[in-house]
Structure 1
Amino acid sequence: MRTPHMILLLAAALLWAAGHARAATPEAKLAYQQARDAAGAAYKNARARCDAITGNPKDMCVAEAKAQRVQAEESARARYEDTLKAFTRARMRIASANYQRDQARCAGMTGNDKDVCKAQAKATLVAAEADARADQKTIEARNDARADKLSAAYRVEMEKCDAFAGAAKDQCVSAARTAFNR
């Protein structure tokens, strides 16, 4: 159950660290729309299979279909938007959908088993949301640290250039700006 969250975290970290621009290309938009359409079609098929079932198993089947649709749509949206905020939002919505699925599973139980099931479902939701927020803060902190390090290195290079004069200094400054994209 934690594997999709880890995959999203890894994807967010890799995409964020690589500094990709927002995916505004027509190909990215088309891939996003196709993923949403595929998720919708898969949901309709799963929902049709659920209609043959009655009672709590039907509720569980429908909740599972909804959770799978949310996971597919949110993953596609996060890849399309390609921001840390989008990946975190996707993880939160997936956790919420999984919680609704777990609640449907718990509805078929009785007594203490039902209470334990509901408590476990809530604990899983809280843990997933906390992990998403913590991972976002970690990635943001690493990005801030990386920016601070680059800024400090740039200042060092510019200080080295002060040892030169005239054309040599201009060439040194130009090389430093090029190296640090300034």
Structure 2
Amino acid sequence: MRTPHVILLLAAAMLWAGSHARAATPESKAAYQQARDAAAANYKNARARCDAITGNPKDMCVADAKAARVRAEEEARARYEDTLKAYTRARMRIASAEYDREKVRCDGLTGNEKDVCKAQAKARLVAAEADAKADRKQIEARNEAREDKLDAAYKVAMQRCDAFAGAAKDQCVASAKTEFAK
């Protein structure tokens, strides 16, 4: 269950390591739409299989289908938008869909088992949301630290350029600006 979250976190970290925004390409929009269409088709097929079942197993089947659709759509949207906010939002929505699925599973139980099951489901939801928020803050902090380090290195490079005069200084400044993308 945690593996998809780790994958999303790593993907978000790699995307933010470059610290540049990329415009959505027509190919990425087409891939996003294709992923959404595939998720809808898979959901429709899964729902059709669920119609042959009755009772709580049917409810569980439908909840599984919905959770799978939400996961596929949210992961596709996060890849398409390609932002830390989108990855965090995807993780939150996936956690909520998993929680809804777990609540349906718990409805098949009775008594104390049902109460414990619902409490465990809620605890997993809270933990998944907290992890998503913490991971976002951690990535933001790393990005901010990287930017601070680059700014400090740029200032050092500019300070070195002060030792030169004329064309040599101009060349040094231009080189520093190019190196640090300023």
Asked if Structure 1 and Structure 2 have the same fold, meaning a TM-score greater than 0.5 normalized by the shorter chain, the answer is yes
> TM (normalized to structure 1)?
0.98
Matched, 1:73 2:70: no
Written as runs of structure 1 = structure 2, the 5 A alignment for 1:27-176 is 27-176=27-176
Contact 1:99–1:125 (8 Å) recurs in 2: yes
The 3-state SS of whatever aligns with 1:39 is helix
Q: How many residues align?
A: 182
Aligned counterparts of 2:25 and 2:52: Cα–Cα separation in 1: 42
Whole-angstrom distance in 2 between the partners of 1:52 and 1:146:
55
Q: Give the CA deviation at 1:108.
A: 0.3
Query: C-alpha separation between the residues in 2 aligned to 1:20 and 1:175?
Result: 21
C-alpha distance in structure 2 between counterparts of 1:92 and 1:23, whole Å: 24
Conserved 8 A contact 1:47-1:62: yes
Report the Cα distance in structure 1 between the residues aligned to 2:44 and 2:100, rounded to whole angstroms: 18
Q: Matches of 2:77 and 2:23 in 1, distance apart?
A: 10
> Following the alignment from structure 1 to structure 2, what is the Cα–Cα distance between the partners of residues 36 and 114?
34
How much has 1:24 moved relative to structure 2?
Answer: 1.2
Task: Give unmatched runs, 5+ long, in structure 2.
Answer: none
- Cα shift readout 1:80-134 (whole Å, capped 9, x = no counterpart): 0000000000000000000000000000000111011001100000000000000
Could you state the TM-score of these two structures normalised by the residue count of structure 2? 0.98
Aligned to 2:3: 3
Partners of 2:52 and 2:25 lie apart in 1 by 42
* Identity across matched positions, percent: 79
Using the alignment, how far apart are the partners of 1:93 and 1:141 within structure 2? 23
Aligned CA-pair RMSD: 0.8
Q: Confirm or deny: 8 A CA contact 1:23 1:80 kept in the other structure.
A: no
Q: CA deviation at 1:18?
A: 2.4
Query: Deviations 1:54-105 (Å, cap 9, x if unpaired)?
Result: 0000000000000000000000000000000000000000000000000000
